[in-house]
Amino acid sequence: MRFLAMIMAALMTLAGCSTSAVLTPAVPPLESEKYAAIVVDANSDRVLYEHASRDARYPASLTKMMTLYLLFEALDSGLIDLSDQIPFSNYAASRPPSKLGLKAGQSLDVQAAILALCVKSANDVATAVAEHLAGSEEQFAGMMTAKGRLIGMHSTTFRNASGLPNSEQISTARDMAMLARALRKRFPHRYHYFANRSFAYGGKTIRGHNKLLGRVDGVDGLKTGYIRASGFNVATSAARGGRGVIAIVMGGESATERDAHMEKLIDIYLPRAVVAGR
C-alpha cells in the first residue's frame, strides 16, 4: 500500500507539472536589447506578464497618449470644445513627419486634432495642441510629467508632446501601461477614438499605422510609436467575453515583429484575465 501511495503521488506530481506547462506557456522575449513588455489584466490590474517592464525606454509616439489625456481633460472640464480651432505656429508647422501638413497660420478643430493624433500620429498636431493648451510645448511637457506622477508614472519624464527624439524623454513599459489604463478608466466616453483606423480630412482618407486594429479579435486601441532610439513600440488594449488586457511592447526590430509578438501575448494572456464583475 505504501508503495502504491508513492506511485500515486509521483503520478500526481507529473500531472501537476504537465498542467502547469499547459497553463503557463513561455513567451520568449524579443531578441532586441531595447525590448520591454507588460500585460495587465484590465479588470483586476494584475500583471500577467512582464519583461524589463521597469527599465528605462524611449516612448516615441506612445507619448501622444498623454497629450490626448490632457486634451480629453480640457474637453471634460469645459476649457475647450470639440469645435474650437487650434492654430498652427511656425514651430508646430515645422515638425517632421509623421504630420498632417498644415501651414503656419492655418488651424484645425479639436475633433480633427484628436483623430490626427490617434490615427496619423501627427507630430505637428501634437505640438499645436501643446501650444494651444499651455502656451508652449515646453510648458505642456511639464504638465505631462506632472500628470504622469499623479497617475503613478514615477519613471517617466516628458520633454515634448509628440515623442520626437529627445534623450531626456524616457519612460518604462509599466508606466505606459498605467497611462493606457488611466485613459480607459478616466475617459471611457472618448476611448472610441483609439479604435479608428482612418479618418477623413481635407477631402482625403488618412489611414493609420496600427495594423492590429481589425486584424486581432478584440483589439480596440491604442497607439503605435517608432524612433530609431526606441525601436518599434505599441500600446494595445483588447477585450473578449468580458475579459480585458492592456499590453505594451517596446523595442521591436520591425513593425511586423512587434505586432506578431503583441498578438501572441494577447492570445496567451487574455484568456487568463478575470471576467468583469466576478
- Exposure string of 122-144, with b = 16+ CB inside 10 Å and e = fewer, is bbbbbbbbbbbbbeebeebbebb
- Asked if residue 63 is part of any domain, the answer here is yes
- Asked if residue 20 is part of any domain, the answer here is no
What is the domain-level CATH number for residue 177? 3.40.710.10
Tally of domains in the chain = 1
- Asked if residue 265 is part of any domain, the answer here is yes
Q: Give the pLDDT confidence of 89-124 residue by residue, as tens digits.
A: 999 999 999 999 999 999 999 999 999 999 999 999
Cell 509578438: give the residue. Answer: 261
Q: Can you give the pLDDT at residue 21?
A: 31
Q: Can you give the pLDDT at residue 277?
A: 75
- Asked if residue 219 is part of any domain, the answer here is yes
Range of the structural domain that residue 191 is part of: 29-272
The pTM of the full predicted model, rounded to 2 decimals, is 0.89
Q: Can you give the pLDDT at residue 28?
A: 87
3-state secondary structure the chain: CHHHHHHHHHHHHHHHHHHHHHHCCCCCCCCCCCCEEEEEECCCCCEEEEECCCCCECCHHHHHHHHHHHHHHHHHCCCCCCCCEEECCHHHHCCCCCCCCCCCCCEEEHHHHHHHHHHHCCHHHHHHHHHHHHCCHHHHHHHHHHHHHHCCCCCCECCCCCCCCCCCCEECHHHHHHHHHHHHHHCCCCHHHHHCCEEEECCEEEECCCCCCCCCCCEEEEEEEEECCCEEEEEEEEEECCEEEEEEEEEECCHHHHHHHHHHHHHHHHHHCCCCCC
- Asked if residue 9 is part of any domain, the answer here is no
- Asked if residue 15 is part of any domain, the answer here is no
Q: Can you give the pLDDT at residue 166?
A: 98
- Asked if residue 206 is part of any domain, the answer here is yes
All residue ranges of the chain with pLDDT < 70 are: 1-26
- Asked if residue 23 is part of any domain, the answer here is no
Half-sphere exposure of 96 (CA within 13 A, CB side): 5
Q: Can you give the pLDDT at residue 63?
A: 98
Half-sphere exposure of 56 (CA within 13 A, CB side): 9
